[in-house]
Structure 1
């Protein structure tokens, strides 16, 4: 990499790296900068020998084109920002993987940001991302601060909100109804004869929505008391163990527990086993997410399956259609869910 000499305050010289520019590639290849630009954007319009010299110059210098500067004329950065609550949560990871695969096929790259379930962090991240001029944004959830919504709408770019649905998305929504999940799980457990219920949950807005619907469905069925344990916003096996300890301190077994994630459900199962309690006889458990370990716990975990891959793919297809000025058949896509009945409930 080229360097330049700078004199320190003590008179000694130091070397600092100097970025390789399009002009330096052009000098090395013996062509005009406009020819290098043409080779990068329209290589079919450059003579084969000239193109070969330019490619050799790029390879020897390590030059990386400034796509933002190059895309200003066409208003395209070829960058899509994806914002998720947690990169540690596998349910989001699979969605992002399928989303990234699909948009890369069309020449886009993904910039990934994490909010930590904090709406203020999301707002700050959105402002930072928009300053980089992405072509589109992938968001997790439909609940954003007023300022965040204002910035997103003012950006005038395609936006997909995922992992939830609403009749009034910012642009496109791809997900499922958390309320229907809560109602369905409550009905499933009640129909199987359970009458004492608890919730072991991470403290995030989508989990709270499921839990409110779970409690409301049980109230419709004459169950007025549901013990609830909210702990950290981030799911963990420890959270599940602590949550069951809280629930058992407040009520008796047998109890049916609805968990905000399979990770929390696994913690509930471990705590029940540590106390000598059987599942589902003493502690019935329903998780959420159908993560890859859910079928292999002992006993196998009953859970709610979400098609995470489809969320990613449908989100990508909708954004790509918007970017290509093609019609989007549905701006609200409900991928649904399925209760997977296994041994814990």
Structure 2
């Protein structure tokens, strides 16, 4: 059964947080790269080795032209720091690129992968190729990837999300190529947008719980970005329906279903009287369902679980995972069509498109 309650009213603007500038991350004194920081550039390798950048470049590409002692020292620093050359940048500097860079928040999310596949279904028959990177919900990784685009000069860029750092937004505009943001509905996209209201998604979750008779509800999701927007909508919907949010469990990052299993365990240790849980991420919801089953809990009698993201596994895991979500492949196709129009110097009817939120009801709630 599919409900489309969010279609009955205009989408709510997502008040996306804007960050002026990412905090700088300094290299360690010994030249090693700290966890979570970007690999150094060639000038940093040259400084550590006491040579010129051109010598580093030769040591990596034409090692026979560099003295053995210098070459060994450079290679040792390269290995220690994690420096990597960029073959795409070298290949694309002088010609028209056929590469479209697609950055996903988490490559383990089926929804993001479906969106990229949908985009590829439109672009690849026209001679374009998708190159995929993963930002892992990290400002540092996002910034490093955007900086690399200046040299790479792709034909266009797509993000499964919206860019929050103003400095990165300016850098993307300066590229002068089509920029596609998705997965939210901000009032000021950089260029093009195919998205939906995360606030409405959270409100739809609360309305569903109210309709099923649950009163003591809880939330599990990321403390920032789309997670915070979905929580905002969930709070609004819960207040309107008279629901009691007894717990809000925030997680810093989501990398796998293990995060959902751990989060539900933490939630139940705080308040075992929770009747229903809204997990604002498909991986969190799947992990929570598995944890509830591991504990011998009956779904939805002992606890109801609602996820965000229509993934195939939702139908396969008994009793089935109820989800709020979108048609991710359709979102990707629509994004690809807009990108293609812009690359052909055509003028789209609109640079912003909104996809419908739906609720797929299964046995978990």
C-alpha change, 1:69 and 1:7, in structure 2 (3 Å) is closer
Matches within 5 A, 1:114-129: 114-129=134-149
Name whichever of 123-132 and 258-267 sits farther off. 258-267
Quick one: distance in 2 between partners of 1:77 and 1:114? 21
1:70 Cα deviation from its structure 2 partner: 5.7
Matched, 1:133 2:157: no
Mapped to 2, the partners of 1:237 and 1:254 lie a distance apart of: 21
Equivalent of residue 213 in structure 2, options 187, 193, 197: 193
* Structure 2 gap segments, 5+ residues each: 1-61, 69-89
Cα distance, 1:289 vs structure 2: 0.9
1:31-110 matched pairs, under 5 angstroms:
68=92, 71=95, 76-110=96-130
Write the mapping of 1:171-320 to structure 2, written as runs, cut at 5 A.
Answer: 171-320=191-340
**Structure with more contact order per residue of length (Cα contacts < 8 Å, sep ≥ 6):** 2
Regions of 4+ moved over 4 Å: 4-10
Kindly state the Cα deviation for residue 209 of structure 1 after the two structures are TM-superposed: 1.0
Q: Compared with structure 1, are the counterparts of its residues 309 and 8 closer, same or farther at alpha carbon in structure 2 (3 Å cutoff)?
A: closer
Mapped partners of 2:235, 2:127: distance in 1: 46
* Comparing 274-283 and 174-183, the one that deviates more: 274-283
Normalising by structure 1, report the TM-score: 0.76
Residue 217 of structure 1 and its aligned partner are, at CA, apart by 1.4
Structure 2 CA distance for partners of 1:251 and 1:124, relative to 1, 3 Å:
same
TM, length-normalised to structure 2: 0.72
C-alpha distance in 1 between matches for 2:147 and 2:93: 20
Contact conserved, 2:100 with 2:155, CA < 8 A, in 1? yes
1:67 deviation in Å?
Answer: 6.4
* In structure 1, C-alpha distance between the alignment counterparts of 2:270 and 2:239, rounded to whole Å: 19
Residue of structure 1 equivalent to 2:56: none
Task: Give the secondary-structure state (helix, strand or coil) at the position aligned to 1:317.
Answer: helix
The number of aligned residues is 285
Cα 1:278–1:157 change in 2 (3 A) is same
Report how far residue 250 of structure 1 moved.
Answer: 2.1
In structure 2, the CA distance between the partners of 1:216 and 1:8, relative to structure 1 (3 Å rule), is closer
How big is the shift at 1:302? 0.7
Q: What value does the CA root-mean-square deviation take over the aligned residues? A: 2.4
Deviation at 1:133, TM superposition (A): 1.1
